[in-house]
Amino acid sequence: LNANYNSFTGPLPAEVGQLTNLEELLLFDSDLTGQLPGELGRLTLLKILTLTDNAFDGSLPLDALEQMTNLRTLSIQRIGTHDADFKGSGITGPLPALKNHKFLTKIQFENQRLSGSLDDDFLQTSPTGQAIEVDLRNNELEGRVPPSLLDKQFLSLYLGGNKITTVPPRIYDTSSGTCPQ
């Protein structure tokens, strides 16, 4: 279902969970609000979930996102350059580990208000030999970059505007030839 650039308003209906054969759900740039429904977890065949540039708030449905293990792309970012440009107040709370997502190669939560630290097993089973993009810029994440990202050979990791304190040298030192480039 590709319904980008429409004028949807209000919360994403829980009935979206009844669309169990969907492989793509793209609702980019509308005015959807409220918390994402836990019923998203029923969309276990979903490969692409793009809800970018809406006005969602509340916390992420962690259990639902963990159940969506066929995802290749998970994009729920807010677009803009200044606070006044963003829709809504942003999604808060922790980011799920997504540790059993063996196909996930793109995750974008830029300009939300996610907090806490990244789990040690964050993206643990995502592909190691494919390009992986992790865009978590401008959130409230803290702590260190987890060791689960060290084996990703082609990692693009965007963490600016957070409170990250430690990045393992292997993430940015390409001299060994065995780390992400």
Residues 82-125: tens digit of each pLDDT: 777 888 899 999 999 999 999 999 999 999 999 999 999 999 99
- pLDDT band, residue 170 (cuts 50/70/90): confident
Give the model's pLDDT for residue 168.
87
Instruction: Tell the residue number behind the tokens 């609000």, with chain if given.
Output: 33
Helix (H) or strand (E) holding 88: none
Residue 98 to residue 71: CA distance in whole angstroms:
10
pLDDT of residue 48: 98
In this prediction, residue 110 carries a pLDDT of 96
Give the pLDDT confidence score for residue 117 in this predicted structure: 97
Whether the Cβ atoms of residue 75 and residue 36 lie closer than 8 Å to each other: no
Q: Does residue 179 register a pLDDT over 60?
A: no
* C-alpha distance from residue 113 to each of 60, 116, 148, 151, 158 (Å): 11, 10, 23, 27, 15
Percentage of the chain beyond pLDDT 70 is: 95
E-state strands within 44-112: 48-50, 55-59, 73-75, 90-93, 106-108
- Per-residue pLDDT tens digits for 14-34: 999 999 999 999 999 999 999
Mean pLDDT of 2-20: 96
As a whole number of angstroms, the distance between CA 179 and CA 157 comes to: 13
Q: What is the pLDDT of residues 128-150, one digit of tens each?
A: 999 999 999 999 999 999 989 98
Question: Which pLDDT score, from 0 to 100, does residue 173 have?
Answer: 65
Q: What is the pLDDT of residues 43-62, one digit of tens each?
A: 999 999 999 999 999 999 99
pLDDT of residue 175: 60
Position 180 confidence tier, pLDDT thresholds 50, 70, 90: very low
